[in-house]
Structure 1
Amino acid sequence: MTAVRTHTHAQAVDAAIDLFSRQGYEQTTVEEIADAAQVSRATFFRRFRSKEDVVFADHELLLEEVVVMLAATRPEARDSVEAGTRETVWDPAVDPYLEVCRAARLVFDHHVGQRETSLARHRLLQEVPALRDRELVTTHRYERAFTAYLRDTLPPDRSTTTMSIAFAASVVAVHNAVLRRWLRNPHLDLRPDLEEAFAELRRAAWAPGAEGGTPPASTGTSDQAGEGSTRRVVVAVLDADADADDVARAVRDVLA
């Protein structure tokens, strides 16, 4: 994560996770977290509203960073002098699907980079049901951010709400599946697996007959949408413990 994760923020998050792991979530007080982080109680509440918030504080920063990262490749809106109207200009070199995968990779790299905190947070989530519920809410926020970006960034002839939702959900599902594997086996380097799974999702999205259409020239793919290709709703049903390969394979099989 960038410098937006300040020293005070990092101290508070790391101290809270450590105390929760050693003492238990319910048994740990805000005062203890503030003391361990060497900040005042007032400072703690200016940054975090509750103990639950501090557990997911990094995600708040990550979401902000993801939104900023994606915004940099959104199409530009500019005034048309001749027509006297405002038009949207798409960059043909931008692959919106690739940009979403890059944003998800940012989240994955943060977890891996904060190894001990990530592992401790994962154990904590297994022990506290309320925190698992909050994690689901956070996951949906990433999906909404990805979906909104795709709807705004894919050119009109390629953009549909259905495809945007499906691709965003698939990317988040693949990311979470690979992340869970890493959390169970933190000695493994699973980034190549994540990259391959994302690449497979992009190939499926740009495949002939898929709603995505033809990829930008910069993506390096040669898939072309055939004449008379039809648009369709894509639904893939998987078990809750499906891994990245299962998700990618299911989407590919349906699109095929």
Structure 2
Amino acid sequence: MTERAALRWQEAEIAAIEPVTGRVRSFRFRVDFAERFRPGQHVDVRLTAPDGYQAQRSYSIASAPDASGTIELMIEHLDEGEVSGFFASVAEVGDRIELRGPIGGSFVWTGRDAGPLLLVGGGSGVVPLLAMLRHRDAAAPDVRALLLYSARTRSEMIAREELEARARDEPGFTLMLALTREPGGRRIDRARIDAALGALGAPAHAFVCGSNPFVSAASDLLLDAGVPPGVIRTERFGG
């Protein structure tokens, strides 16, 4: 039996909705597993139309495990996206949505795994890495961590103000940016990887998340820089 088959669907009420960027909104869902998932895991979301048609997508959990009774999903509105379109223009606080989870066992960091911790995210791929950073702050603040985050512009950075505040206020955490559409910006390359490794040291764990091309390129750069394959864990979003 697969992990998904073993999990039951449950109705989760939308408790709060907040804008994050021009295309991303934060949704808080009331669930019964808010304290017992692992940072890096995701949930399946299923919508059912009156005629029985169903659409389903997977979304990483952005929040850290806590006693709030809720989890946070950050959902990006994709052109022609059936599920993301619903959340962008139809969903309201109080709506009840089918969720299944938490899902995932390899792309997780619990704090007991120690560090240094290297996180490499592209676009909305930063969401599960954000969950890890939030959990680090609560459960393992002594673990050194570095987030290398690629986004097109500063305005499109997910949780920009939070990440900048963490970099300013949290000892042992470093934020490095690759803003590809800003003046003088460039993609993550070997020089950026070398700079990240120079600032952090040899990582005990490296998590890479983003689109398929981003994850492939970033993982190859890490391998070329000497990071052992067994240290690198990846999570790919379509595209």
* TM-score normalised by L of structure 2: 0.26
Q: Which has the larger share of helix?
A: 1
Specify the structure having the higher radius of gyration (Cα).
Answer: 1
Return the structure number with greater strand share: 2
Higher relative contact order, structure no. (Cα contacts within 8 Å, ≥ 6 residues apart) = 2
